[in-house]
């Protein structure tokens, strides 16, 4: 398990480095570090699972860049998570949709954080199918390998 956790940390760090370079240097866009987002949520004791490219980094053979941080947030914490993240990152504004709250850059409208609402069965199940990871003194959960596959293929139904 220690090897897996180390692998996840290395690949997530590499993914963030690639994304930062591409967004800030090549595309002149704002980059938001997943660890900074995690730190805010942890400080306020928000229940969440890191998903998307960062959450699946440990299960992939190569790091890959992404422009946003995807999180599945416990339904009871979605409003609080939205509020604290927009306070912590005042350049963000919320766009509350049926299944997701998109936190967008006020200047460009680019989505930097997706707070997915666990309204679908597979998203509710994720909270029981995770592994704990630590990076830069921040502990967080990512989907188990089986749940990572569900997240990738469930939208195809």
Q: What is the CATH number of the domain that holds 49?
A: 3.30.460
Which residue ranges in the chain fall short of pLDDT 70? 1-5, 156-157
User: Alpha carbon of 108 to those of 47, 52, 92, 112: distances in Å?
Assistant: 29, 22, 10, 10
**What is the end-to-end Cα distance of the chain in Å, rounded?**
32
pLDDT of residue 2: 55
Q: Report which of 54, 59, 14 is spatially closest to residue 149, judged by C-alpha positions.
A: 59
Domain count, the chain: 1
**Domain range for 84:** 2-156
pLDDT of residue 4: 52
Distance CA 50, CA 143 (A): 7
């Amino acid at each position: 398990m220690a090897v897996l956790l180390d692998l996840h940390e290395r690949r997530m760090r590499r993914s963030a480095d690639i994304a930062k370079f591409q967004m800030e240097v090549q595309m002149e866009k704002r980059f938001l570090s997943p660890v900074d987002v995690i730190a805010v949520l942890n400080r306020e004791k928000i229940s969440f699972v890191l998903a998307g490219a960062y959450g699946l980094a440990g299960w992939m053979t190569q790091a890959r860049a992404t422009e946003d941080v995807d999180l599945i947030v416990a339904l009871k914490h979605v409003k609080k998570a939205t509020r604290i993240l927009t306070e912590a990152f005042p350049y963000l504004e919320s766009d509350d949709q049926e299944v997701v709250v998109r936190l967008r850059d006020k200047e460009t409208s680019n989505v930097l954080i997706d707070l997915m609402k666990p309204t679908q069965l597979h998203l509710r199940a994720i909270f029981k199918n995770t592994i704990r990871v630590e990076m830069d003194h921040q502990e967080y959960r990512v989907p188990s390998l089986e749940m990572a596959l569900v997240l990738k293929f469930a939208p195809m139904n």
